[in-house]
Amino acid sequence: MAHSRVDGIIFTEPLRDDPRIELLRESGIPFAFLGSTIRQDVSWVDGDNRGGALQAVRALGSLGHKHIAVITGEPGLVSTEKRLAGYYDGLAFLGIEPRDDLVWAGDFTRQGGYDAVRSHLSQIKSGAITAIFACNDLMAIGGIQALTEAKIDIPAQISLIGFDGIEVGQYLTPPLTTVQQPIFRLGQEVSRVLLGQIEKKGEPVQITLPVKIINETNTIGPVPEGK
Stated as kind and residue range, the H or E segment containing 213 is: strand 212-214
Q: Are 62 and 77 in a shared domain?
A: yes
Q: According to the model, what pLDDT value does residue 216 have? A: 86
- pLDDT single digits (tens) 104-144: 999 999 999 999 999 999 999 998 999 999 999 999 999 99
Is the same domain home to 191 and 159? no
Prediction pTM value: 0.93
SS3 of residue 214 by DSSP: strand
CATH of the domain at 126: 3.40.50.2300
Q: Hey, is 160 helix, strand or coil?
A: strand
Is position 99 within any domain? Answer: yes
Are residues 172 and 113 both part of a single domain?
yes
The string of DSSP codes covering 48-96 is -HHHHHHHHHHHHHHTT---EEEE---TTBHHHHHHHHHHHHHHHHHT-
Say whether both 60 and 144 belong to one domain: yes
Residues 6+ apart with CB under 8 A from 177: 59, 159, 160, 161, 162, 213, 214, 215, 216, 217, 218, 219, 220
Amino acid, single-letter form, for residue 184: F
Residue 167 in domain: yes
Residue 86 lies in a domain: yes
Q: Is residue 82 part of a domain?
A: yes
Query: Do 146 and 104 belong together in one domain?
Result: yes
CA atoms 150, 66, 88, 53: torsion sign = positive
| Separation of alpha carbons 9 and 43, rounded Å | 11
The reported pLDDT for the residue numbered 143 is 97
Residues with Cβ < 8 Å from 170, sequence gap 6 or more?
A: 176, 215
Tens digit of each residue's pLDDT (9 = 90 or more) over 51-108: 999 999 999 999 999 999 999 999 999 999 999 999 999 999 999 999 999 999 999 9
Residues 40 and 146 in one domain: no
Same domain assignment for residues 104 and 93: yes
Pair (64, 172) in one structural domain: yes
Pairing of strands 131-134, 103-104: unpaired
Whether residue 2 is contained in a domain is answered as: no
In a domain, 95, yes or no: yes
Amino acid at 45: V
| Pair (30, 100) in one structural domain | no
Helix axes 78-94, 49-62, angle to 10 degrees: 30
Range of the domain at 194: 9-47+182-210
- How high is the pLDDT of residue 4? 66
| Residue 56 burial class via C-beta count within 10 angstroms: exposed 0-12, middle 13-18, buried 19 and up | buried
Q: Which amino acid is at 191?
A: S
Same domain, 116 and 55: yes
Does 227 map to a domain?
no
Q: How far is CA 188 from CA 11, 79, 227, in A?
A: 14, 20, 45
Domain count, the chain: 2
Pair 175, 194 in one domain:
no
CA separation for the pair 136, 69 (Å, rounded): 14
- Res 1 pLDDT > 70: no
- 32 shares its domain with 123: no
Give the sign of the dihedral formed by CA 49, CA 54, CA 55, CA 57. positive
